[in-house]
């Protein structure tokens, strides 16, 4: 597997990740491993929105349960994952050629359908070039026209300097992963080559520094795990989860791997999916690219579990239990 320097999903260039990402089983796993830490989901954000003062209320148990359900529904909305799509194809649709008007003007003319309520993707935008060619606007031209006539909050006509390599590197060094990903979601469409480049750079940085917890309980954790699994780079993530004693999350990542890479060897082995450790060991033995490191991590995890069990038994013995 080679990493595409321009970003995106590259284990099989012609394979579309969207059908896999949106499949029910994959979505279930991604939502599960994302987690729902209310303190993180509803934390104060520096988005220039005026904060409302906190309210304190006395509630019955039923009222509290209802409030918790409302919080869960709202958190599900906040944690809605950005879609994972294949890079879009360039538009090269020539409508007509009129050599008679060549050189009439030295600039382009852009014609935009400004019908109210029309989705941006279906809005017709055509360009008349100075050589007389009438063509469908490129993605970039169409998006610029849409932003002029139907501006989207947080999107600029010209992409911010944040996404330029030298600035992006500095921001990632500070660990501002969520900020960069949120900004990319606001500025670009999910199949834009720039969006795919930026997100892959962020995900690679997170994986390199093993800062997965910074994106946990955010809408970007699921796509991060999907990216790493798609590109067969889950070893560091598994080691990190084992160090946090999150064995079930490790098993979920392995299940995700088997759903994405249906021809993997570990999927052919009959392992009880509820036996999390055995499922992980099967992956390590048959599919892992870093067997030794993962085996050491599993041994360290098992040793911690044994020591804790022994400690609990000693405590019970000391209390005559």
Tell me how many degrees the CA angle 169-171-177 measures, rounded to the nearest 5.
105
- Predicted pLDDT at 45: 74
Q: Among 279, 258, 262, 261, which Cα is nearest to 270's?
A: 279
Cα 150 to Cα 164: distance, rounded to the nearest angstrom:
26
How confident is residue 117, by pLDDT bands cut at 50, 70 and 90? Answer: confident
Q: Among 109, 178, 179, 120, which Cα is nearest to 149's?
A: 120
Q: For 176-210, what is each residue's pLDDT tens digit?
A: 999 999 999 999 999 999 999 999 999 999 999 99
- The distance of Cα 43 from the centroid of its chain, to the nearest Å, equals 20
* Buried b or exposed e, range 239-254, using 16+ CB within 10 angstroms: bbbbeeebbebbbbbb
Whole-number percent of the chain with pLDDT over 70: 95
Cα 25 to Cα 45: distance, rounded to the nearest angstrom:
32
Q: For 268-319, what is each residue's pLDDT tens digit?
A: 888 887 899 999 999 999 999 899 999 999 999 999 999 998 888 888 888 8
- Predicted pLDDT at 3: 42
Where are the extended beta strands (E) located within the chain? 94-97, 109-112, 125-128, 133-136
Rg over CA atoms, the chain: 25
Q: For 29-54, what is each residue's pLDDT tens digit?
A: 999 999 999 889 988 776 667 777 88
* Tokens read off for 294: 């993962």
Q: What is the average pLDDT value for the chain, to the nearest integer?
A: 91
């Amino acid at each position: 597997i080679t990493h595409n320097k321009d970003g995106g999903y590259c284990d099989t260039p012609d394979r579309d990740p969207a059908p896999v990402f949106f499949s029910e089983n994959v979505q279930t796993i991604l939502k599960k491993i994302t987690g729902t830490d209310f303190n993180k989901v509803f934390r104060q954000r520096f988005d220039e929105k005026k904060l409302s003062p906190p309210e304190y209320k006395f509630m019955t148990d039923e009222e509290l349960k209802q409030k918790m359900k409302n919080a869960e529904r709202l958190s599900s909305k906040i944690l809605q994952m950005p879609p994972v799509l294949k890079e879009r194809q360039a538009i090269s649709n020539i409508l007509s050629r009129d050599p008679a008007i060549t050189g009439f003007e030295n600039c382009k003319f852009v014609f935009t359908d400004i019908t109210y309520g029309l989705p941006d993707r279906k809005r017709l935008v055509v360009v008349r070039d100075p050589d007389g060619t009438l063509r469908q606007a490129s993605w970039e031209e169409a998006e610029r026209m849409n932003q002029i006539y139907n501006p989207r909050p947080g999107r600029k006509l010209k992409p911010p300097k944040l996404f330029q390599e030298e600035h992006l590197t500095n921001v990632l060094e500070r660990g501002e992963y969520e900020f960069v990903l949120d900004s990319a979601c606001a500025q670009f469409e999910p199949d834009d080559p720039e969006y795919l480049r930026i997100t892959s750079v962020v995900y690679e940085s997170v994986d390199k520094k093993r800062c997965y917890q910074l994106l946990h309980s955010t809408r970007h954790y699921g796509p991060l795990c999907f990216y790493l699994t798609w590109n067969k780079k889950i070893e560091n993530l598994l080691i990190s989860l084992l160090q946090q004693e999150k064995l079930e999350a490790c098993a979920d990542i392995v299940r995700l791997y088997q759903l994405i890479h249906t021809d993997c060897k570990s999927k052919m082995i009959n392992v009880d999916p509820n036996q999390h450790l055995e499922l992980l060991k099967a992956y390590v033995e048959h599919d892992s690219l870093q067997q030794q490191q993962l085996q050491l991590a599993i041994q360290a995890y098992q040793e911690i579990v044994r020591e804790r069990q022994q400690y609990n038994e000693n405590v019970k013995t000391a209390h005559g239990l």
